Structure 1
Amino acid sequence: MNKEQILNTIKIKVEEKVHAFEKLIAETRASNNDTKSSMGDKYETGREMLQQEINNLQRQLNETLSQQAVLQKITSEPSLKVQNGALVKTDKGLFYVSVSVGEIIFNDQKIMTVSVESPLIKAMSGKTKDDQFMINTMLQTIEEIW
């Protein structure tokens, strides 16, 4: 498994999310400016709703920027135990411990990207190859760690 390529794929996905949020914020701000009018209170509610949407998008952008910062600290060095930056194969699937951006396809394999804060990673944190752990009453075995 080429962890460096997997990490780069995740970085690109997060970068695309950052650009998408920045674009949405700019478009929403532009539409907010369009509603400025001397028509009175009728437009104040609409402007407030747009401002709330901008605030929501800004919060999501900040979370995505935090994910980007976490990714900058991750190396593609081999891991012997489950930790940030580890690629873990269990009998139930393949997991990359980094940030949670969902499923990625790499070399025709599904890899779930999972945050160290997730219950799954907390259950397997620090474990090594052939160790078992329990999550949601399901016993899993760690088959390989890269």
Structure 2
Amino acid sequence: MNKQELLNIIKAKINDKIQSFENLIAETRASNNDTKSSMGDKYETGREMLQQEINNLQRQLNEALNQQSIIQKISAEASGKVQTGALVKTDKGLFYVAVSVGEIILENQKIMTVSAESPLIKAMSGKKAGETFSVNAVSQTIWSIE
């Protein structure tokens, strides 16, 4: 499995997400400005709702920027234990410890990207191939770590 290619896919997904949020924020701000100039004071509620939407989008953008910052620090080097940057194969699936951007299909394999802060990764953190861990009463065995 090419971990560098996996990292590149995650970086591209995060960059797309950031671009999308920036565009949505710009469009919503433009909409808010249109409302201000054309509708008058009786539409304060609508403007407040638009401002709340901008704030919500800004929070999501900040989360995506945080993910981008985390992913920039991850190396494609092989890892002997479960830690950030490790590709972990268990009897239940293939997990990449980085940031959570969902499922990625690479080389015809489904890989779940998982945050190092997730309960699953916390349960397997520091473990090595051959060791077993349990999350929500489901036991898994680590087959390999790259």
Q: Which residue in the other structure is 1:44 paired with?
A: 44
Q: Does 1:57 align with 2:49?
A: no
Q: 2: CA distance between counterparts of 1:75 and 1:91?
A: 25
State the partner residue of 1:115: 115
* Residue 40 of structure 1: how far off its partner (Å): 4.1
Counterpart secondary structure, 1:36: helix
- Matches of 1:86 and 1:20 in 2, distance apart? 28
Query: Which residue of structure 1 lines up, in the alignment, with residue 92 of structure 2?
Result: 92
Deviation at 1:37, TM superposition (A): 3.7
Q: Which ranges of structure 2 fall in alignment gaps of 5 or more residues? A: none
Distance across 2 between alignment mates of 1:77 and 1:114: 18
* Pairing 1:1-146 to 2, within 5 Å after superposition: 1-37=1-37, 39-146=39-146
- Determine the C-alpha separation between the residues in 2 that align with 1:40 and 1:14: 38
Match for 2:48: what amino acid? E
Deviating more after overlay: 93-102 vs 35-44:
35-44
SS in 2 for 1:35: helix
Q: Which runs of 4+ in 1 moved over 6 A?
A: none
Q: Which amino acid aligns with 1:139?
A: S
Mapped contact 1:37–1:43 kept (Cα < 8 A): no
Question: Aligned residue pairs: how many?
Answer: 146
Question: What TM-score, normalized by structure 1, do the two folds share?
Answer: 0.97
Distance 1:107 1:39, change over 3 A: closer
CA distance in 2, matches of 1:38, 1:124: 57
Q: Deviations over 1:85-104 (max 9, x none)?
A: 00000000000000001111
d(CA) in 2 for partners of 1:55, 1:38: 22
Deviation string 1:14-38 (CA, Å, 9 cap, x unpaired) is 0000000000000000000000147
- How far residue 45 of structure 1 moved from its aligned partner, in angstroms, is 0.5
State the distance in 1 between where 2:37 and 2:45 align.
12
Amino acid at match of 2:135: I
Deviation string 1:100-141 (CA, Å, 9 cap, x unpaired) is: 011111111110000000000000000000000001101100
